[in-house]
A and B are shown apart, each in its own frame.
Chain A
């Protein structure tokens, strides 16, 4: 089955700086890679996703890159704001079930 590893487990940045979270996956059949943001006590919310037929996708301050050869994908947040503080989860799926990384707790200091 799929195994997803996520780094770092915690990340602290100054407001306005960029944040990068990296994930690796094991199943070469995985073709869908979403990222979720979970604020304290709330449900995970899908913030961006990428499919295996593209290498990069951007949505305002958030971008995701995918390297299928190396089996890793990354979340990039630019111009971070305090409201970006949350736990971020990456995930990968070949279609039948989704496996999540362990999460990254991002703190943006004002």
Chain B
């Protein structure tokens, strides 16, 4: 059973470009969470999704950020018009229920 997959592992974008981060949950998991981790800081909740539904997006900035988890395919975290402050590690986690979460390897976004 493959673990949570994220790609790309490293992403470099210039200011103003778009970043698309993908997360494939573990087989059988229908709950996906996205977290952001700034250098030397903790994990900050961004958004919680189930298939085709956003359950809680209270941690996600209201502008430029969006997330989806379509019926088929991976969950996508999309950041439009990136700025330097968006540089961080973005982790997704999946869960078969609403609690136990298993993390992917993360995508390290660098905005130049």
Q: Which residues of A contact B (CB under 8 A)?
A: 1, 31-32, 34, 36, 42-46, 49, 89, 93, 95-103
List residues of chain B with CB within 8 A of the CB of A102.
Answer: 41-42
List residues of chain A with CB within 8 A of the CB of B103.
Answer: 36, 43-45
A100 to B35, CA, bound (A): 10
Q: Which of A36, A43, A95, A98 contacts B104 (CB 8 A)?
A: A43
A33 to B55, CA, bound (A): 20
Q: Which of B35, B45, B99 contacts A32 (CB 8 A)?
A: B99
List residues of chain A with CB within 8 A of the CB of B99.
Answer: 31-32, 34, 93, 95, 98
Q: Does B56 contact A (CB under 8 A)?
A: yes
* Highest count of chain A CB atoms <10 Å: which of B42, B43, B59, B103: B42
A100 to B93, CA, bound (A): 13
10 contacts between A and B (CB under 8 A): A31-B99, A36-B103, A46-B102, A89-B42, A95-B98, A95-B99, A96-B98, A97-B45, A97-B48, A97-B55
Q: Does B72 contact A (CB under 8 A)?
A: no
List residues of chain B with CB within 8 A of the CB of A32.
Answer: 99-100
List residues of chain B with CB within 8 A of the CB of A43.
Answer: 91, 103-106
List residues of chain B with CB within 8 A of the CB of A93.
Answer: 98-99
Q: Does B80 contact A (CB under 8 A)?
A: no
Q: Which of A45, A46, A49, A89 contacts B43 (CB 8 A)?
A: A89
Q: How far is the CB of A47 from chain B (nearest CB, A)?
A: 12
Q: Are A99 and B45 in contact (CB under 8 A)?
A: yes
A96 to B47, CA, bound (A): 10
* Highest count of chain B CB atoms <10 Å: which of A46, A97, A99: A97
A1 to B104, CA, bound (A): 25
Q: How far is the CB of B61 from chain A (nearest CB, A)?
A: 16
Q: Are B101 and A46 in contact (CB under 8 A)?
A: yes
* Highest count of chain A CB atoms <10 Å: which of B35, B91, B100, B105: B100
Q: How far is the CB of A17 from chain B (nearest CB, A)?
A: 25
Q: Does B69 contact A (CB under 8 A)?
A: no
Q: Does B1 contact A (CB under 8 A)?
A: no
Q: Are A1 and B58 in contact (CB under 8 A)?
A: yes
